Structure 1
Amino acid sequence: MKDRGESGARISGESHEPGPTDFRDVLIRTEAKKAAVWIGMAALAALVVLLAQPLLVIFGGIVFAAMIDGGARLIGRVLPLPRTIRIVMVLVATAGFLVWLVIFGGNQIANQAAQMPDVIQAQVTHLLDWARSHGIDVAQFDLRSLMSSVLDGVGSVTRWIGGVFGGLTTLFLIMILGIYISLEPALYRRGISWMLPAAERSYFEETARHMGRSLRMLLAGRLLGMAIEGVATGVLLAIYGVPMAALLGLLTGLLAFLPNIGAPISGTLMVLVGFSGGVDMGIYCIIVYVVVQTVDGNIIVPMVARKTVDLAPALVLGAQLIFGVMFGILGLALADPFVAMLKIALERQSNRRNALDGEPASSGPASAPAMPDRS
């Protein structure tokens, strides 16, 4: 009886001992959690790569929502109207401007756009002839064929990334997302905050407010620069009688949204078109370009940079090159806001760690006190 009792006890004891696949073992549970975290991080990284284009479209919607929100807040300083009405006013004003641009300037700008490639090619040919006449050996080439080859090469890189997202479809999705987000930004912010641990929610809310304010200021300065550069360029060129003044003003304004890259491109086009009307007109176009860029670089950009994220030009240019190759014109347009938001997140995380370690927080826009989220 004793042997049978000891045997039963041993069997009973052995049945309760954890096995190699038993998750009641603390060590096994700990290692399983570690493995699950690493597998989840790898899966998340793969998912981000796979969904890079849709995520960029969503970020574009957030940027567009910041533009709408900034306009609504600006109207709110003058007219104490409900937020929804102010957003509708911003959207109606934007749509009205686009309709005016198409109705009153569409034909003229379309005709000028059709003439510009021939003018640019003729000026480049003259430049090459001048170079050869001064002993600079330049190989003969067809500019149109070269440009076509370059565009085909870029298209082959970005076409498979773009997938079904065409230009108009992407723009439409960005606008719809921006409108939805701008109508109830707190709803989406609370939704993301709810998915985070409770201890991290207040930190996320404060960081999101910092990002929203900096993004609004960044875009406000960008839109102001676009308006000033486009209008000033168009008016100054039209006064002197430069061909395609309206188109050059429009291109200058649109390309001003791309820092570091847009200004040289618009300036090159302006100078080439100017020299098509003679040396005096070409020199005048150079003066116009220098004056407009000087005003924008020394007045508008510093005024906005004091209230937003100060980004190194080389950092922005590098991000534009990478985003441009990966996502085309959409990546070029969103590279600057993306880098700005990433810098704010990293600076706030660094300040948070310094505060926990008892070190003074670094100075800068991202470490400023949180601004009230007034709508």
Structure 2
Amino acid sequence: MSDSPAPRHEAPGPSDFSDPLTTREIKRAAIWISMAGAAIALWYLAQPFLLILGGLVFAAILDGGTRLLGRVLHIRRGWRLAIVTIAGFVFLLWTIYYAGATVAGQFEALRAVVVAQVARIMGWATSIGLVQPGDNQINEIGRQVMGSLGKLTSAVGTALGAISSLAMILVIGIFVAIEPRLYERGFAWMLPIDRRADFYQTSARMGRTLRLLMAGRLLGMAVEGVGTWLLLMIGGVPMAALLGLLTGLLAFLPNIGAIVSGALMVLVGFSAGFDKGIWSIVVYVVVQSVDGYLIVPMVAKRSVDLAPALVLGCQLLLGTLFGILGLALADPIVCMVKVLLEERSRPAEGA
């Protein structure tokens, strides 16, 4: 053994957690690792999270209908919720039963019309010199456009194929709508006591905003679908019922849905003649004007006024990342984030 005296001041090593510097660095590393792990988990669990969010949106629709029914029918909330839920499912089954066979038979006809119209457009582009004859890009563009529109016309079949996801959304929505306070209190229990009052306030405003947003969305879908069907039928445009159904369904996706439904409407209209094509354009402008200048401002005044460019950007982003489910839920997600940010900024404004 060495006879030299031990040093009076020993510096802590890397395994000594009593050192403040080591403890601080470990905390930093843990935070970064946790954030990275959360990001990875969120990416892999995005679809289940979106299904849960879809269930919450459906719960907001049921809750809004229950509250609206309570204004004219003064019975217990459970009975009103049962009436709204059963009425919704009966209407859905009635629509599928009476309109399903007719609409399904028109999908292939719609696909053939769209393909023929796209071929005519490509031929016109070739005749005026926009593209060179025999260019391989013509066939490539045509295949891409026709393939995309083919996928669009089979959207109903794809939705029916995803029956398990739809059933999960419906089940979650019904359970949450039955006892919303139970889940709200359960989530608040995980928060510090001094933050629960703010959570309840934010949750109440989010719920009200989401109910108004979905009420406006359903009203817009009904107006656009029925209005398109009736006006196209009056003008003698073929497949008016199918175009009305697609327009109503796509109205759930603001901006993008209107563009896609309008393109289909115009293509089908011009396939039946020049006058039918002009009438289709007039119908599209009238229906979108009613929705854009009457329904949307009325809903935005009572809920959250969302910038169209912001909603469109989020639709493109979430649609690219998570598919049709992300595209459909982009509007509610932006709405909830905006409400959350506004509530979080209130203390800072009052300070």
TM range (shorter): 0.7 to 0.9
Alignment match, 2:258? 263
Given the alignment, which residue of 98, 119, 131 partners 1:137? 131
Aligned to 1:328, what secondary structure does the other structure show? Answer: helix
Corresponding residue SS for 1:78: coil
Q: Which amino acid aligns with 2:77?
A: R
Q: Which residue of 1 aligns with 2:195?
A: 200
Alignment of 1:90 onto 2:84: yes
Aligned 1:281-320 pairs, distance under 5 A = 281-320=276-315
Q: Which residue of 2 is the match for residue 127 of structure 1?
A: 121
Identity of aligned residues (%): 54
* Cα distance in 2 between the residues matched to 1:152 and 1:103: 24
Partner of 1:252: 247
What's the offset of the Cα at 1:115? Answer: 0.7
Secondary structure at the counterpart of residue 352 of structure 1: helix
Partner in structure 1 of residue 9 of structure 2: none
Equivalent of residue 169 in structure 1, options 139, 164, 170: 164
- Stretches of structure 2 that go unaligned for 5 or more consecutive residues are 1-11, 153-160
Bigger CA drift: 275-284 or 28-37?
28-37
Shift of 1:228: 0.4
Relative to the length of structure 1, the TM-score reads 0.81
> How far is 1:114 from its partner?
1.8
Call closer, same or farther: CA 1:354–1:28 in 2, change over 3 Å: farther
Q: What does the per-residue CA deviation read over 1:170-228, in whole Å, with 9 as the maximum and x for residues that have no partner?
A: 11111111111111111101111000111111101110111110011011001000000
Deviation of residue 38 (structure 1)?
4.4
- Asked if the contact 2:243/2:261 (under 8 Å) is kept, the reply is yes
Query: 1:315: Cα distance to partner?
Result: 1.2
Find the counterpart in structure 2 of residue 332 from structure 1.
327
Q: What whole-Å deviation, never above 9, does each CA across 1:328-368 have from its counterpart, x for those lacking one?
A: 1111100110011011111211222233xx2xxxxxxxxxx
Aligned residues: 333
Q: Compared with structure 1, are the counterparts of its residues 77 and 19 closer, same or farther at alpha carbon in structure 2 (3 Å cutoff)?
A: same
Say which SS state the counterpart of residue 324 (structure 1) adopts.
helix
Tell me what 1:15 maps to.
none
Stretch moving more, 217-226 or 323-332: 323-332
Please tell me the root mean square deviation across aligned C-alpha atoms, in Å: 2.8
Q: Within 1, Cα distance between the matches of 2:332 and 2:108?
A: 32
| SS of alignment partner, residue 296 of structure 1 | helix
Distance 1:188 1:50 in 2: 24
Number of the residue aligned with 2:70: 76
CA drift at 1:59? 0.7
Q: Is the 8 A contact 1:121 1:143 kept in 2?
A: no
Q: CA deviation at 1:144?
A: 6.9
Matches of 1:340 and 1:195, distance apart in 2: 24
* Distance of 1:301 and 1:286 partners within structure 2: 21
Using the alignment, how far apart are the partners of 2:56 and 2:143 within structure 1? Answer: 39
What residue identity is the alignment partner of 1:106?
Answer: G
Residue type at the aligned position of 1:220: A
Among 100, 107, 116, which residue is 2:110 paired with? 116
Rounded to whole Å, the distance in 2 between the matches of 1:126 and 1:71 is: 47
Describe the SS at the equivalent of 2:305. coil
SS of structure 2 residue aligned to 1:141:
helix
- Give the Å deviation of 1:311: 1.2
Counterpart-to-counterpart distance in 1, 2:247 and 2:196: 42
| 1:221 equivalent in structure 2 | 216
* CA distance in structure 1 between the partners assigned to 2:124 and 2:252 by the alignment: 34
CA distance in 2: counterparts of 1:146 and 1:19, whole angstroms: 63
Aligned mate of 1:146, from 144, 147, 165: 144
| Equivalent position amino acid for 1:82 in 2 | R
1:21 Cα deviation after fit:
5.7
Alignment of 1:17-36 (within 5 A): 36=30
Q: Which moved more, 1:340-349 or 1:222-231?
A: 340-349
Deviations 1:263-320 (A, max 9, x none): 0110110111111111011101110110111111110000000011111111111111
Query: Which of 176, 185, 191 pairs up with 1:190?
Result: 185
Equivalent AA in structure 1 for residue 97 of structure 2 = I
1:131 Cα deviation after fit: 3.5
Of 38-47 and 50-59, the range deviating more from structure 2: 38-47
Deviating beyond 4 angstroms after TM superposition, the runs of 4 or more aligned structure 1 residues are: 18-38, 147-154
Corresponding residue SS for 2:230 = helix
Q: Secondary structure at the match of 1:306?
A: helix
Structure 1 residue 133 displacement after superposition: 3.6
Distance in 1 of aligned mates of 2:307 and 2:80: 35
Q: CA deviation at 1:23?
A: 6.2
Unaligned runs of 5+ in 1: 1-17, 155-165, 359-375
For the residues of structure 2 that align with 1:24 and 1:308, how far apart are their CA atoms?
53
Q: 2:6 matched to which residue of 1?
A: none
Residue of structure 2 in register with 1:67 after alignment: 61
Q: Do the aligned residues in 1 keep the contact of 2:62 with 2:85 (CA within 8 Å)? A: yes
CA contact (8 A) 1:131 1:137 kept: yes
